[in-house]
Structure 1
Amino acid sequence: MILVSGEALIDLFVDTRDHERARTGLPALAVAGGSPFNLAFGISRLGAKSGFLGGLSEDGFGRMLAARLEAEGVDISLAKTSKRPTPLAIVATGADGHPTYTFHAENCAECDLTAEDVPFNLDGISAIAIGSFSLIMEPVGTTLVGLVRRSAANCVVSIDPNLRLSLVPDLAHWHARFDGLVRHASIVKLSVEDLDAAYGTDADEAEIAARWLGAGAQLVVTTDGPNGATAYHACGTVNVPGRNVTVIDTVGAGDTFHAAMLASLERSGRLTRDAIDGFDQEGLRTLLTEAAVAAGITCSRRGADLPTLEELRAALAVI
């Protein structure tokens, strides 16, 4: 099983442009979300067993999130039922039509995970996938560091920073934590937007990837939307082009790419540290192409509607 740990939250979509209606109240649409949440059910849809380790509130939103995970086939037996509220991401549409995001995540359920909430015996776990803003929230951030340190020798660790600067009050602290986790990681997957946010737009991607590989990571993958994806590995650097699709929106595209990589490795029996070490360039090209096709499917429809394995195989059959 691939164990995903991090936040599950509610994206609350509100159109704030109708000032007349605002006098009596604006309608809102609540949608289940969060990068680790999307990753967990995305892996399940793509034919691999997944589980979710994190705080889920006992409030109505939390029950909604738990029910959605179970409906998607995700094992939530390791999830913690928390008395804290569900974190919210308020997505408001401005006068220019562009969305703005406001996060209400402090002291919420996603933070409520301590070392005592993590079972000591993790037999049967082939990989642990972590990321997003749970990495620097407390106590969950410290809990994830401990989980990674004691598990990395026995299973694959995959990290996706999914960096949101508005939730990072101290970027130096984020760097220290992330760089510490990279030393234990098998896979680091991130977007060029993550790189720009963390290191600036003038940062040298290949140099950063080489530094992480030198620190202990086995595979670094960067995604760049329509420009494709690049893998950095001891066997060399591999780039695949983006997919030519009609984009509805890009919500969940990065989570889909990550889910597709992990699910493919699990289905093929290659989700081990030794197998990742043994990749050649052709194998990496195949893996990245499959993940890019999966992400393209998500971009072609509304919201984080990640593909099933049948949909992915059908799309791969015609390229």
Structure 2
Amino acid sequence: MIVVAGEALIDLVPSSQGPSLDGQLPALLPRRGGGPYNTAVALGRLGSPTAFCSRVSTDSFGEALLNGLRGGGVDTSLVQRGAEPTTLAVADISPDGSAGYGFYADGTADRLFSLPPELPAAARALSLGTCSLVLEPGASAYESLLRREAARGVFTALDPNVRPGLIPDPEAYRARFRSWLPHVALLKLSEEDALWLADGTPRRTAGRTPVRAGCGGCLYGGDPGAGGGPGAGEGGGRSAVLAAAREWLAAGPAAIVLTHGGAGLTVLTRDGRELTVPGERVTVVDTIGAGDTVNAALLHRLDAHDALSYAALAALGDKDWEDILRFAARAAAITCSRAGAEPPYATELAA
């Protein structure tokens, strides 16, 4: 079983781009979301035995979130409940399909997550990330879960999925991020997030919305230069990211997977290897949930390679990694081809 821990929330997605001709604002359509939530649903759809560990509201949105998990075959026995409202994320979709977010998270249920008892014996991997590791008091509980389960030998995966608008003290967060690395087996992050964590360079889309997601793992076709890619970082960003990644690897992870928008994915390994695969060509509707789909696809395919352990991850060869990364690229492309966080089912990838 793979346990995914973190927030579940509701994305409010505009039904159209900008005001209508008569000046009316577009309707906001509620969609189930949250990085960890999307990852859990994606894993369930791919056929991996999965459990979700979080705190979910008892309001109607919370019930809808639980129904979405159950519909994907995800175990909800580790979900805590609370009467507080569900977190809302208002999405802003740009013409290229990338999404920015403004969050309404004060006093919401998922922020009050508490450290659960030891995970079930069947738990082989734990995946964490996004807002859940930022917003207190829940963030400290999720951090304690990461440290405790890593000490027990559970395979751990981390996707920071940085939301700068939610981080009041960036330097304190960067220090906290570095403190997690000795407890992480697999680190996955977008090139934009890596650059922000490495040297504090503002994300390229900063200023347009309170929080900007970028492509964050969406692998798509079209303009080969769109959406960033290896070497696309400004001001020597590529070298800064690689230098930082090597430091992060030395601190703990066996491997780091970087996503480059339309240009694909790169894996960097602790023994000094670097392998990149291209993105899959697809017409982008939006990028919501694409990076989360990458998380799920990586874990699912690693399990297929019997590599959900630190030693097995470190022992993977280049051909193994090429298969794993290409699988993740295909899965993310399907998510990008449809509205909202709608990850693919196993049958779609088999086809």
Distance in 2 separating the partners of 1:18 and 1:238: 46
Which residue of 214, 221, 226 maps to 2:262? 226
Q: Cα distance, 1:19 vs. partner?
A: 8.9
Which residue of 142, 145, 159 maps to 2:143? 145
Cα distance change, pair 290–106 in 1 and its aligned pair in 2 (3 A): same
Q: What letter matches 2:285 in structure 1?
A: I
Q: What letter matches 1:304 in structure 2?
A: A
Aligned to 1:262: 299
2:126 equivalent to 1:128: yes
Q: Give the conservation status (yes or no) of the 8 Å contact 2:6–2:54.
A: yes
Q: Cα distance, 1:293 vs. partner?
A: 1.3
Aligned to 2:172: 173
Residue pairs, 1:73-112, within 5 angstroms: 73-91=73-91, 101-112=101-112
Distance in 1 separating the partners of 2:20 and 2:76: 40
Distance in 1 separating the partners of 2:98 and 2:141: 36
Render the CA deviation track for 1:191-223: whole Å, top value 9, x for unaligned.
012123333254412111111110011110000
Aligned to 2:193: 194
Structure 2: gaps spanning 5 or more residues:
202-233
Matched pairs, number: 310
Q: What letter matches 1:146 in structure 2?
A: S
Q: Cα distance, 1:99 vs. partner?
A: 6.7
For the aligned residue pairs, the C-alpha RMSD in angstroms reads 2.3
Q: Helix, strand or coil for the counterpart of 1:232?
A: strand
Q: Cα distance, 1:93 vs. partner?
A: 6.9
Structure 1: gaps spanning 5 or more residues:
315-319
Q: What letter matches 1:196 in structure 2?
A: L
Residue pairs, 1:1-319, within 5 angstroms: 1-14=1-14, 17-18=19-20, 27-91=27-91, 101-115=101-115, 118-153=116-151, 154-198=153-197, 199=199, 200=201, 201=234, 202-203=236-237, 204-235=240-271, 236-314=273-351
Q: Give the conservation status (yes or no) of the 8 Å contact 1:58–1:82.
A: yes
Q: Give the conservation status (yes or no) of the 8 Å contact 2:195–2:241.
A: no
Q: Cα distance, 1:98 vs. partner?
A: 9.0
Q: Cα distance, 1:245 vs. partner?
A: 1.8
Q: Give the conservation status (yes or no) of the 8 Å contact 1:48–1:267.
A: no
Q: Give the conservation status (yes or no) of the 8 Å contact 1:84–1:112.
A: no
Q: Cα distance, 1:309 vs. partner?
A: 1.1
Using the aligned pairs only, state the percent identity: 37
Distance in 2 separating the partners of 1:120 and 1:281: 35
Cα distance change, pair 151–164 in 1 and its aligned pair in 2 (3 A): same
